[in-house]
Chains A and B, each alone.
Chain A
Amino acid sequence: MSIHLNSFVLADPKKCIGCKVCEVACAVAHRSEEIKTVGNMDIPVMPKLYLVKTADVTMPIQCRHCEDAPCANICPVFAITQIDNKIIINEESCIGCKTCMIACPFGAIELAPAFKDGKPVFQSLLTFDSEEELSSKQAAVASKCDLCNDRLNGPACIEACPRQALTYVNVKKEKQRRCTETASKTGANIKNLIV
């Protein structure tokens, strides 16, 4: 049996300048219609990766597509599953309980307001008091990187980054590359040492 490890997107904080183009590209890629200019963005920008700035580091954080995904393991309604080589949230089944958000060790999951065809999706029954009337409550669903599951050219964030700070990590190939690099760098020295 061979193991196919899930890939993920990783940012290089040495290259990242914090411009947020990756977030915008992600939000645009997840719209059903093609959007080219800001004036056509009729719902908030809701990316599935999140730029983080600390005193020392700037980089976007996104889902690692864990092999034993804590979010999938804990989801009470089985809305998170492994599909092909990705961990995917089924937003239709999600009840917005936020358990996955807490379970994720990376903070890669956000609860985003739900929209369909540019209009807010309201909950069927739940209401709340506002200005002396009962209002419907907008649905919120768990949202995280799906590696641009439906996109031919792969993750939009990688393509959009103006500094090439994002890479698609194929874990097995990456491990092999690192092993080969170590062998060529240090192998000869060790050989001499042993002789």
Chain B
Amino acid sequence: MVDKDTDIIKIDAELCTGCRRCAEVCPVDAIEGKQGTPQFINVEKCVMCGQCIQICSAYASIFEEYRTSREDKLRERNMPVTLEEPIFAAYNIGDLPKVKEALTNTEAFTMVQCAPAVRVAIAEEFGMPLGSLAPGKLAAALRQLGFNRIYDTNFAADLTIMEEGSELVQRITEGGLLPMFTSCCPAWVKFVEQEYPELIPHLSSCKSPQQMAGTMFKTYGAQADGVEPDNIYSVAIMPCTCKKFESQRPEMNTDGYQNVDAVLTTRELAYLIKEAGIDFSSLPEEDFDKPLGMYSGAGHLFCATGGVMEAAIRTAYELITNEPIPNVNIQYVRGSQGVRRGVVHAGDVKVKTVVVSGLKNVVPILEEIKKGNADFHFMEVMTCPVGCVSGGGQPKVLLPKDTEIAYKNRISSTYRHDEEQTYRKSHENPEIKAIYKNFLGEPLGHKSHHLLHTEYKQRGYCK
């Protein structure tokens, strides 16, 4: 059965030349078709990572005539018709109309969150060098667009570390199911659900930072602003096309409220900024709003491969030993190799970790686990080549020769931004301390379980 919500990534048959470079990058072999003919997406297999969108270079030429006009194609994609940039065969259905409507609806109180990978890439769409770091301009742009609260997914990433780190320590010390898998990457979660349902219990029960932020907006944030949850419209700006799917999952609903109402990719936000006539490069540096916009360097690391692991280690080490970690920069989890194994010596506890980037690289490890041969405790998996900075919703690099430098620059901006922060560890973020003191109680407690954790399910498609 085809789930309508999974039909987010598409290939325009009029534009596709059938070169099949998209099929080469697809981690789940969801792109089907003969060489030289238009390709199709098997929506049940597709994990919506959008890597096909990033690699596609079959564009609509002004020298050719198509049955569907450029304007109609833009409308089908939910892209502004005034957009000047070229359009390509592989694309995602956007969410701009919904967000624009919310921004003009005087009844709606709009809260926007911004994923860490967005601030290291969005400036590229306005002529700034690849990987330019622009958190202040990003916050200013969102404010000028009229969002009522400019919050941050990074805050929720810190929250994820509190919950996920505690879950890991609990599973290790109390004999829970190991290895534990990260659940931040929705494409990875969907992959486990459809290809390895027997391993679902290994996934952390934590919601992703996007969903945690959404929940907090409509509860803690609603209280802070004295707004009814009914009136809150929760928007997420993401580097990822699969986050659109994640936000619509029925499991991502708390007490009748969908945690996130609409997701825009980095590129879609750039369209919105351009359409509003905002000159991004000359925007002043502004801050995110408090309380849900304050973050630590650890939270920001979520956008790079190894980042969740590094953030988790910084906190788990201190949870286990009650001592500060000797060096917050954990180099062995960083890098671009597909699989990176390591050990954290936290007092007497040795936590064995595995970091995987690129979904294809995880298959041998999952087979290892199925055979009972896995000897590690915690595995971070990111579907995209070097984590979210290379996500399917990020600025599309025009030429293949520039992707490596784009990813390298976005990653080095990530680590630079971490080093710029006053707080480098999630549990030291004062607003995180406050939210546990005033609202949530304790990690893995009753309230956090209700709001921040979820369940994953086996999917119809199964190999």
Contact = CB atoms under 8 A, between A and B. Distances in A.
B150 interface: no
Contact of A18 (B17, B85, B126, B397): B17
B396 A45 contact: no
Contact of B84 (A19, A41, A50): A41
Interface stretch (A21-29, A70-78, A82-90, A125-133): A21-29
19 contacts: A17-B19, A19-B19, A20-B19, A23-B59, A36-B402, A37-B396, A37-B398, A38-B398, A39-B124, A39-B267, A39-B274, A41-B86, A41-B398, A42-B85, A43-B84, A45-B59, A45-B62, A45-B86, A58-B36
B58 A20 contact: yes
Interface in B397-415: 397-402, 406
Interface in A51-76: 51, 53, 58
A146 interface: no
A36 B63 contact: no
Given A36-B397, A37-B124, 7 more contacts: A21-B399, A23-B57, A25-B398, A39-B85, A39-B124, A39-B395, A50-B63
Contact of B57 (A20, A40, A53, A110): A20
Nearest to B84: A42
A24 B21 contact: no
B399 A25 contact: yes
A94 interface: no
A114 to B, nearest CB: 13
B20 interface: yes
B398 A19 contact: no
Contacts of B9: none
A41 B85 contact: yes
A160 B398 CA distance: 10
Interface in A104-140: 110, 112-113
Contacts of A33: 127
A21 B89 CA distance: 13
A65 B182 CA distance: 58
Contacts of A36: 124, 130, 397-399, 402, 406
Contacts of A38: 85-86, 88, 267, 395-396, 398
Contact of B401 (A20, A46, A159): A159
Interface of B: 17-21, 35-36, 57-59, 61-63, 84-86, 88, 124-127, 130, 267, 270, 274, 395-402, 406
| Residues of B contacting A: mostly | loop
A24 B88 CA distance: 11
Given A19-B57, A21-B400, A40 B127 contact: yes
* Central interface residue in A42, A44, A50, by most chain B CB within 10 Å: A44
Nearest to A58: B36
Contacts of B35: 17
A19 B17 contact: yes
The 3 closest A-B pairs by CB, nearest first: A39-B125, A19-B19, A37-B395
A119 to B, nearest CB: 11
Contacts of B270: 39
Interface residues of A, number: 32
Nearest to B89: A20
B111 to A, nearest CB: 26
Given A43-B84, A160-B400, A24 B20 contact: no
B397 A21 contact: no
A95 interface: no
A162 B397 contact: no
A24 B57 contact: yes
A113 B62 contact: yes
Contacts of B21: 17, 19, 162
A101 to B, nearest CB: 12
A58 B398 CA distance: 22
A35 interface: yes
Contacts of A159: 401
A43 B83 CA distance: 10
Contacts of B62: 44-46, 113
A13 B86 CA distance: 26
A110 B61 CA distance: 12
A24 B397 contact: no
B214 to A, nearest CB: 27
Contact of B36 (A18, A23, A39): A18
A38 B83 CA distance: 11
A189 B61 CA distance: 52
Given A35-B398, A113-B62, A44 B86 contact: yes
Nearest to A35: B398
A50 B58 CA distance: 12
Contacts of A44: 61-62, 86
Contacts of B36: 18, 53, 58
Contact of B399 (A24, A46, A50, A51): A24
A33 B128 CA distance: 12
